[in-house]
Amino acid sequence: MADVKKLYIKTYGCQMNVYDSERMAEAMGGAGYVTTEDAAEADMILLNTCHIREKAAEKVYSELGRFRALKEEKPDLKIGVAGCVAQAEGQEIMRRQPLVDLVVGPQSYHRLPQMEARVREGEKALDTDFPLDDKFDTLRQRPKAKRGPTAFLTVQEGCDKFCAFCVVPYTRGAEASRPAARVLEEARDLVERGVREITLLGQNVNAYHGAGEGGDWSLARLIWALNDIDGLERIRFTTSHPNDMDDDLIAAHGECAKLMPYLHLPVQSGSDRILKRMNRSHTDESYLRLIERIRAARPDILISGDFIVGFPEETEEDFQATMDLIEAVNYGYAFSFKYSTRPGTPAAERPQVAEDVKSERLQRLQALITRQQRAAQDAMVGRTVGVLFEKPGRMAGQMVGKSDYLHAVHVTDDRVQPGDLAQVEILESGPNSLSGRLVSV
């Protein structure tokens, strides 16, 4: 029998890393590895890391320290660091943590099998080169395993926007889009394997401009082409930049039946002074106008956002402007963070806001967001919404899925299976989810 080795992957950070971890598992599948959920039985451990905030990066080192005992027990165990910390810190990781055998960046992981062969020989392997070859192309020959009902599909990588706080342009590199035909091919393949909802991913997904028939395609054009795939029922995309919401994409939200009424559109701050210092190239006003236009196209759309509090030189007045913007938009969901100093980014050098001030502002902002989120969820009670069921719930007979608006919904009904898209009348709004009754399967 062939020697089957086990691979344990732990994923941090954004959805793009989730997608990348799946691709790494596939690449390593070609080298005789199957994945395991249990680090203790692994022959190789890969941490797919995130560098976005200081805490995220530090987590990697504390996690690595925890593998020391495992490695002592099992000297053949190989430990690798992938993802954005790998890209940002490279060789430094092996210096700081000698347990690490392999460091691979987010644009190089299709070369993992060759790196694995080298570490098996007792070498250390480092690859953080930006692509000379296309990682997606090399990964086309993958097994046709059955998939769950939802999947991510990366269509765009990297970022050229250089917001003053952000590491992404450095860890992921310059903006690049995959050719439309390749994306459609991967989407069809996913649908054949059981996928009914695809979330298109990119650090700036709405800046998509992949080569296609008749010239570069926009994200809107790509969505319309996906809309024609039989068996694909739902399309989402994330994350978008306000400046790249073009007219066609806004219109698609009103006209494209499979495009779900949920849009993640980070604004970061509501103060023009801070937005300028952040190098965001949009204003409070232009963002609010944009939201108006999106809502005119799709009145029930649920808007979500990202906020940073305590960006260098943020005053109480600037913070109030952010709170006013949140009041004006009325978000259905949001992520909010204290500004975290990232070495090498422009904002790292500027006068910092005190930690306790950041904490206090974050608390106020999150209280407001929580109220809005709660209200948006409660407003679903009495409505009938589409739900794509994903898996059994915690209670016997329960199935859970996501509504069109991305709320978690559970029903107790033995007529539904994972992968079913059903109409559900929402009856109750709980702390983190909705519950309802099946109207039709």
Residues annotated as binding site for [4Fe-4S] cluster? Answer: 14, 50, 84, 159, 163, 166
Binding-site residue numbers are 14, 50, 84, 159, 163, 166
CB of 58 to ligand SAH, least distance (A): 14
Q: What is the CA radius of gyration of the chain?
A: 22
**Is 81 among the residues that bind ligand F3S (CB under 6 A)?**
no
CB-count burial class (<10 Å; 0-12, 13-18, 19+) for 341: middle
Q: Of the two residues 55 and 371, which places its CB atom closer to ligand F3S in the complex?
A: 55
Task: Give me the DSSP letters along 347-408.
Answer: GGGSPPPPHHHHHHHHHHHHHHHHHHHHHHHHTTTT-EEEEEEEEE-SSTTEEEEEETT--E
Interaction partner, residue 162 (ligand SAH, ligand SF4, ligand F3S, none; CB < 5-8 Å by kind): ligand SF4
Cβ contact 148:418 at 8 Å: yes
**Is 258 among the residues that bind ligand SF4 (CB under 6 A)?**
no
**Is 161 among the residues that bind ligand SF4 (CB under 6 A)?**
yes
**Within 13 Å and on the Cβ side, how many CA atoms surround 419?**
11
Q: Cα–Cα distances in Å, from 144 out to 148, 192, 201?
A: 13, 9, 21
- In whole angstroms, give the CA distance from residue 24 to residue 216: 29
**Is 339 among the residues that bind ligand SAH (CB under 6 A)?**
yes
- In whole angstroms, give the CA distance from residue 282 to residue 276: 8
Placement of tokens 């439309």 in the chain = 180
Cβ contact 191:226 at 8 Å: no
CA-nearest of 226, 252, 204 to 151 is: 226
**Is 277 among the residues that bind ligand SAH (CB under 6 A)?**
no
Task: Out of 172, 253, 264, 338, name the contact with ligand F3S by CB under 6 A.
Answer: 172
Stretch that binds ligand SAH, among 3-11, 60-68, 87-95, 165-173 (CB under 6 A): 165-173
Q: Cα–Cα distances in Å, from 407 out to 298, 333, 373, 377, 396?
A: 18, 10, 10, 7, 21
Cβ contact 50:17 at 8 Å: yes
Q: Of the two residues 61 and 162, which places its CB atom closer to ligand SF4 in the complex?
A: 162
Stretch that binds ligand F3S, among 50-58, 134-142, 275-283, 293-301 (CB under 6 A): 50-58
Phi, psi of 84 (to 5 degrees): -75, -30
CB of 178 to ligand F3S, least distance (A): 16
Stretch that binds ligand SAH, among 73-81, 94-102, 333-341, 379-387 (CB under 6 A): 333-341
Q: Of the two residues 279 and 412, which places its CB atom closer to ligand F3S in the complex?
A: 279
CA-nearest of 262, 250, 265 to 377 is: 262
**Is 373 among the residues that bind ligand SF4 (CB under 6 A)?**
no
Task: Give me the DSSP letters along 400-434.
Answer: EEEETT--EEEEE-TT--TT-EEEEEEEEE-SS-E
How do 78-82 and 102-104 pair as beta strands?
parallel
User: For ligand SF4, what does the binding mask look like between residues 202 and 241, x meaning CB under 6 A?
Assistant: -xx------------------------------------x
**Within 13 Å and on the Cβ side, how many CA atoms surround 74?**
13
User: For ligand SF4, what does the binding mask look like between residues 168 and 197, x meaning CB under 6 A?
Assistant: xx----------------------------
Binding residues with ligand SAH: total (CB under 6 A): 17
CB of 303 to ligand SF4, least distance (A): 17
CB of 79 to ligand SF4, least distance (A): 28
CB of 152 to ligand SF4, least distance (A): 17
**Is 322 among the residues that bind ligand SAH (CB under 6 A)?**
no
**Is 166 among the residues that bind ligand SAH (CB under 6 A)?**
yes
**Is 51 among the residues that bind ligand SAH (CB under 6 A)?**
no
Q: Of the two residues 86 and 219, which places its CB atom closer to ligand F3S in the complex?
A: 86
Give contact residues for ligand F3S (rule: CB under 6 A): 13-14, 16-17, 50-52, 83-84, 167-168, 171-172, 203
